[in-house]
Structures are given as structure tokens and as C-alpha cells.
Amino acid sequence: MRPILSTLPGDQVQLMMCPVARALRVRVDPGKIEQAVMNLALNACDAMPTGGVLKIKTCRVEPTNATMGGPRDQPYALLEVADTGCGMDPETRAHIFEPFFTIKPTDKGTGLGLSMVYGIVKQTGGSIEVQSAVGQGTTFRVFLPLAEKAVTSAPSKRAPRILGHVATNSETILLAEDQPSIRQEVRESLEAKGYNVLEAETGTDAFDIAECYPGTIDVLVTDVIMPQLRGFELARRVGQLHSDLSVVFMSGYSEEALVENGLLSEPNVSFIQKPFDPETLVATLRQVLEARRYQISW
């Protein structure tokens, strides 16, 4: 990640990378680790608007550190991200991993970044801790259990049983997006493919449409950060009205927030990261609709 990280800090931020000489194998999706590092690095840069030092290092830690969560009989990989920025007071530290908690201006952050990091770390069976004080910088320490052997997944020999709905490109889509230009582009793209599109500017408007619509709503396409009613809650409520609903979440942030909120565990729920091109959205729609055709029978 060095080439990417070296482009993040401003001219006044010095990037120091100190990786351990021997590779540390952990059992986790590489993309998720990259997302965690990026979020921590971006937060560190934001905390140093007038410059400073961003230091990222990794090392092996034996199971003697009493502050680590998880089993005490195995070694850990430590990922440490430290900055010399403004730091945090105790009240802020107590809430930083909560979804949507942020002290940044509304146009600078949504409070999802650190909750994503927390979700990724917990999925690995690891732990995360933070040390910070006002005016003294911040250090995040991520402990991930080391895996001694590579993990390979053998493909299942049991074939899925095909059931239910077959996608036809004539389904009804409920589109919830507060930015007019994005909403218009998405609507026009979907209508050009033959979908029937119901559009709403806010989460509340979208729920009202779902409640009053006499027919079936096949897919909810919603932004995660929505006025009045956020995309997470909107999906839950609309799903109660339309039991066979598929959901596509849109966001400028990564899917780890959805993982943390337990919303990507179903095959008919998907995620698309902004910005995206119309064909990517259409392909994602086809995937979630086709997913409803399959049910694994053991």
C-alpha cells in the first residue's frame, strides 16, 4: 500500500512506514485490511491540518500483552497507526467506534470510517485500542491473530436448488437518493433498461411510497446517508412491507459499515460504492435479483 499511502498526506505531513521484516499472515480479506489502513491514515491526516508525522508500523506480538482481546495462547500481528495531531479528549475517545459518530463538519465526514475499522477487526477475531490526549496525537493499535497456515476453501459439490423469482428487467425499483443529479442519472439509466422506477428524495418519502404503492417493489436502491431516515433503517422498514425485497446500498464509503450493521448477510442485499457508472449499477441489480432464484438445500 506504500504507493497509495504516499499520496495521502499533504506537503507538511511526513509519512513513515516501518513494516516488520518477516511477513505476518492473518486470516482476513486483503481488501478489508487495506480499507482499515486507509481509514486510519485518512483520520490521522485530518487530525494534522498544519502538518506532522504519520507513522505506520507492523510487528509480531506474543500473547503476553494483557490489553489484547481474544485468546491468550497465540501470537498476534500488530498494526499501529500513529499521528502527532490534535488528539482527542476522553469523551470523544469513548464514542469513536460508534457508527455515525463524528466531530468533523458535516461535509467532511459521516462517522462511518472508524466503525468500519472496528467491524473489520472484530470479524478477524482481533481487537483494537486507541491512545490519545488533546494536543498529544493519537495511536491506534490493531491486534490480529496470526495464522500459521494458509487457508483454502474447497468448492462445494452440492448443487443449489433453483427456486422462486426470475429477473426479467421489468421489475419495480424504489430509488432513494437526496442528490438530484445522481437520482436523475440513476433513474434514467434504469428506465432505459426497462425497469419501473419510483423515486424519492428522502428516506421518509421513500417509505411513504413503499407504504402506499399497490404493487410489488422488487428492489430498494438507496443511499446510506439519507435525510430524515437513513438507508439502513429505510431498508428494514420497507422490507417489512415487501417481504421479497432486494436491497442495493449506495455510498461513498466502503461496505464495512454495512457489515458492522449486519446488513450484508443476505444474498439479496448488495453494495455499490460511489462514484459508479450506470452499467455497474445495472449489473449489481441483476445479481441481487438473480440471487433470489437460488436457495442452498443441504
pLDDT of residue 70: 47
Q: Quote the CA–CA distance of 13 and 180 in Å, as a whole number.
A: 37
pTM of the full structure = 0.50
Q: Give the residue from 216, 275, 214, 204 showing the smallest Cα distance to 242.
A: 216
Contact (Cβ atoms closer than 8 angstroms) between residue 208 and residue 237: no
Q: Indicate whether 71 pLDDT > 60.
A: no
- Which SS3 state, helix, strand or coil, does residue 165 take? coil
pLDDT of residue 139: 95
Q: What is the mean pLDDT of residues 149-169?
A: 48
Tell me if 2-145 shares its fold with 161-295. Answer: no
Q: Is 109 or 277 the better-scoring residue by pLDDT?
A: 277
- Provide the pLDDT confidence category of residue 156 given band limits of 50, 70 and 90: very low
Average pLDDT of the chain? Answer: 78
Contact (Cβ atoms closer than 8 angstroms) between residue 178 and residue 201: yes
Q: How many CB atoms lie within 10 A of CB 184?
A: 12
Question: Which of the listed CATH numbers 3.10.20.740, 3.30.499.10, 3.30.465.10, 3.40.50.2300 matches domain 161-295?
Answer: 3.40.50.2300
Contact (Cβ atoms closer than 8 angstroms) between residue 83 and residue 137: yes
pLDDT of residue 100: 59
Q: What is the mean pLDDT of residues 158-181?
A: 68
Does the domain at residues 2-145 carry the CATH identifier 1.20.120.80? no
Q: Is 198 or 4 the better-scoring residue by pLDDT?
A: 198
Can you tell me which residue has the cell 428522502?
202
Looking at residue 14, the DSSP 8-state letter turns out to be E
Q: Indicate whether 150 pLDDT > 80.
A: no
pLDDT of residue 269: 79
Residue 191, amino acid:
E
Alpha helices (runs of H) in the chain, residue ranges in sequence order? 2-5, 30-46, 90-93, 113-123, 180-192, 203-212, 231-241, 256-260, 278-291
Q: Taking each helix axis from N to C terminus, what angle separates 278-291 and 180-192, rounded to the nearest 10 degrees?
A: 60
Percent of the chain residues past pLDDT 70, beyond the cut: 75
Q: Give the residue from 191, 198, 204, 189 showing the smallest Cα distance to 218.
A: 198
Q: Give the residue from 138, 131, 120 showing the smallest Cα distance to 36.
A: 120
- Provide the pLDDT confidence category of residue 155 given band limits of 50, 70 and 90: very low
Reported as a single tens digit per residue, the pLDDT across 6-50 is 777 666 888 898 989 888 999 887 878 888 888 888 888 888 988
Q: Quote the CA–CA distance of 225 and 229 in Å, as a whole number.
A: 8
Q: What is the mean pLDDT of residues 187-193?
A: 90
What ranges do the domains of the chain cover? 2-145, 161-295
pLDDT of residue 59: 93
Q: Quote the CA–CA distance of 52 and 47 in Å, as a whole number.
A: 9
β-strands 52-61, 76-83: how paired? antiparallel
Residue 120, amino acid:
I
Contact (Cβ atoms closer than 8 angstroms) between residue 260 and residue 114: no
Q: What is the 3-state secondary structure (H, E, C) of 250-282?
A: EECCCCHHHHHCCCCCCCCEEEEECCCCHHHHH
Residue 113, amino acid:
G
Q: Quote the CA–CA distance of 268 and 289 in Å, as a whole number.
A: 7
Residue 258, amino acid:
L
Q: Quote the CA–CA distance of 275 and 249 in Å, as a whole number.
A: 13
